[in-house]
Structure 1
Amino acid sequence: MPKSIHRPEYAALCALLREKRLEAGLQQTEVSARLKRRQPFVSDVERGVRRLDLIELQDLAEVYEVDLVELIREYLQRTAPQSGSRKKKQPK
Structure 2
Amino acid sequence: MAKSIYDEEYRRLINAIRSTRKEAGLTQQMLADRLGRPQSFVAKVEGYERRLDIVEFLHVCRALGVEPASIFAAVDRAG
Decide: shared fold, TM above 0.5.
yes
Q: Tell me the residue number matched to 1:17.
A: 17
In structure 1, stretches of 5+ residues that fail to align are: 80-92
Larger RCO: Structure 1 or Structure 2 (Cα < 8 Å, ≥ 6 residues apart)? 2
Count of residue pairs the alignment pairs up: 79
TM-superposed CA distance for 1:7, in Å, is 1.4
- Aligned residue identity for 1:4: S
- Aligned residue identity for 1:77: R
What is the CA–CA distance in structure 2 between the aligned matches of 1:40 and 1:57, rounded to whole Å? 16
Runs (4+) of structure 1 exceeding 4 A deviation are none
What is the CA–CA distance in structure 1 between the aligned matches of 2:69 and 2:15, rounded to whole Å? 17
Q: Tell me the residue number matched to 1:39.
A: 39
TM-superposed CA distance for 1:58, in Å, is 0.8
Q: Tell me the residue number matched to 1:63.
A: 63
Give the secondary-structure state (helix, strand or coil) at the position aligned to 2:73.
helix
Q: Give the 5 Å matches for 1:78-89.
A: 78-79=78-79
Instruction: Provide TM-score, normalisation by structure 1.
Output: 0.80
TM-superposed CA distance for 1:65, in Å, is 1.1
CA deviations on 1:23-65 (whole Å, 9 max, x unpaired) are 1110111111110101000001111111111111111111111
In structure 2, stretches of 5+ residues that fail to align are: none
Q: What percentage of aligned pairs have identical amino acids?
A: 35
